[in-house]
């Protein structure tokens, strides 16, 4: 699993068309989330539920450092050269979001399996960008 964590003033996305036959149902409406820790995530071959806890811990640690208001989980297969099967990726991403919600965080999740137009405004401080691999 690979994560790119970005402390953002805002992130907007708009699903444009399905990238997979198994794309999640969603509307094609533009969504905006302000003051967020954006978590770009790529689930890789061999990843399973055991990586959810360490990933959630790492996200929580960065959240406490930069102190945003909420979290955005954004599936982004482009972080990996060996992505998992779509069903596995979606299952792990959903469970990661649920785990963060159980810990008390407001979590927004961009739809899985879609091409999306997006805009992100990343803050310019030293902790605004961080990558992690699990």
Total domains, the chain: 1
Q: Where in the sequence is the domain holding 51, given as residue range(s)?
A: 2-125
Q: In 19-113, where do the E strands start and end?
A: 31-42, 70-75, 107-109
132 belongs to a structural domain: no
Distance CA 85, CA 25 (A): 18
130 belongs to a structural domain: no
pLDDT in tens, 44-71: 999 999 999 999 999 999 999 999 999 9
CB distance 37 to 7 below 8 Å: yes
Distance CA 2, CA 4 (A): 7
pLDDT in tens, 72-97: 999 999 999 999 999 999 999 999 99
Q: Is the pTM of this model over 0.75?
A: yes
- Three-state DSSP class for residue 118: strand
74 belongs to a structural domain: yes
Distance CA 132, CA 134 (A): 7
Checking phi first, is residue 116 left (phi over 0); if not, alpha (psi -120 to 50) or beta? beta
Cβ neighbors of 132 (< 8 A, separation 6 or more) are 2, 3, 5, 55, 58
133 belongs to a structural domain: no
CATH of the domain at 20: 3.50.80.10
pLDDT of residue 102: 98
pLDDT of residue 32: 98
Checking phi first, is residue 100 left (phi over 0); if not, alpha (psi -120 to 50) or beta? alpha
């Amino acid at each position: 699993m690979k994560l790119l964590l970005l402390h953002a003033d805002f992130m907007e996305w708009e699903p444009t068309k399905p990238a997979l036959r198994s794309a999640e149902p969603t509307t094609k409406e533009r969504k905006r989330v302000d003051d967020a820790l954006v978590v770009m995530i790529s689930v890789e071959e061999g990843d399973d539920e055991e990586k959810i806890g360490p990933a959630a811990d790492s996200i929580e640690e960065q959240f406490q450092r930069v102190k945003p208001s909420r979290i955005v989980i954004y599936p982004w297969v482009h972080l990996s050269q060996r992505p998992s099967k779509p069903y596995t990726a979606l299952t792990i991403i959903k469970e990661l979001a649920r785990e963060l919600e159980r810990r008390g965080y407001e979590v927004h999740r961009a739809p899985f399996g879609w091409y999306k137009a997006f805009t992100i405004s990343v803050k310019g401080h030293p902790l605004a960008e961080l990558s992690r691999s699990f």
